[in-house]
């Protein structure tokens, strides 16, 4: 077992439960969409029959693209959303025995210490803020990238691997009362900077 796990032990149970929920919802949504499209198609056919020279663009408006309806964002967005829901749940488990966190800074410190250790296996190496709503959280050995070769070679490839943890951070902060946008930047694998942009004062 341990030979397969190089980093810390990520809580599989929460991820698995979320994947199940996700696939179930996808199934329900596909069924709904199918019904909706069948109805629209009937409409469309009737309109075409009554007016065969009708502008196709008018019909297209009725029938939004499959992509718009069904995909909802690209791979990165969906990985971020998966992480968001897991972060939201995890923070409750981790914060439940702690005193209430009042200030923004207290919450950010909790994120960097207790939460980071529990979920990502270590404390962060640095936390900075410009005092204008942006925090930069730096982890010099971010667990997801520790299996990558070190250095600048795989910086680009690493981006998609950070969508999920960005979501985890955003979800955790949201459940702590902080609405934020979280992005990441990598200059040297496995060091990552997470940029937390506050959306409103909590």
79 part of the interface to a copy of itself, by CB under 8 A: yes
Place of tokens 């629209």: 40
26 part of the interface to a copy of itself, by CB under 8 A: yes
Helix axes 163-175, 75-95, angle to 10 degrees: 40
130 part of the interface to a copy of itself, by CB under 8 A: no
| Percentage helix, strand, coil for the chain under 3-state DSSP, each rounded to 5 | 60, 10, 30
Closer residue to a copy of itself (CB): 119 or 196 = 119
Could you tell me if 108 and 189 are in contact, meaning their C-beta atoms sit under 8 angstroms apart? no
- Part in contact with a copy of itself (CB under 8 A); list of ranges 43-51, 101-109, 170-178, 184-192: 43-51
Binding residue (CB under 8 A) for a copy of itself from 74, 140, 188, 199: 74
Place of tokens 């964002």: 73
Could you tell me if 105 and 173 are in contact, meaning their C-beta atoms sit under 8 angstroms apart? no
Of 118, 96, 124, residue with least CA distance to 191: 124
Distance in Å, CB of 22 to a copy of itself, minimum: 9
**Residues within the interface to a copy of itself (CB under 8 A):** 1-16, 19-20, 23-24, 26-27, 30-31, 33-34, 37, 42, 45, 48-49, 52-53, 56, 59, 65-67, 70-71, 74-75, 78-79, 82, 90, 93-94, 117-119, 121, 144, 147, 160-161, 164
């Amino acid at each position: 077992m341990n030979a397969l796990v190089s980093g810390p032990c990520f809580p599989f149970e929460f991820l698995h439960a979320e994947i199940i929920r996700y696939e179930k919802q996808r199934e329900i949504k596909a069924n709904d969409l199918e019904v909706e499209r069948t109805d629209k198609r009937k409409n469309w056919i009737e309109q075409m029959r009554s007016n065969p020279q009708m502008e196709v663009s008018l019909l297209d408006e009725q029938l939004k693209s499959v992509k718009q309806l069904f995909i909802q964002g690209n791979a990165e967005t969906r990985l971020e959303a998966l992480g968001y829901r897991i972060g939201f749940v995890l923070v409750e488990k981790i914060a439940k025995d702690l005193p209430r966190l009042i200030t923004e800074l207290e919450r950010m410190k909790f994120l960097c210490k207790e939460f980071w250790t529990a979920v990502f296996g270590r404390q962060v190496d640095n936390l900075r803020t410009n005092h204008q709503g942006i925090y930069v959280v730096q982890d010099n050995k971010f667990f997801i990238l520790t299996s990558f070769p070190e250095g600048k070679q795989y910086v680009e490839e690493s981006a998609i691997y950070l969508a999920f943890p960005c979501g985890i951070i955003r979800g955790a902060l949201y459940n702590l009362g902080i609405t934020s946008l979280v992005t990441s930047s990598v200059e040297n694998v496995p060091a990552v900077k997470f940029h937390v942009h506050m959306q409103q004062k909590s």
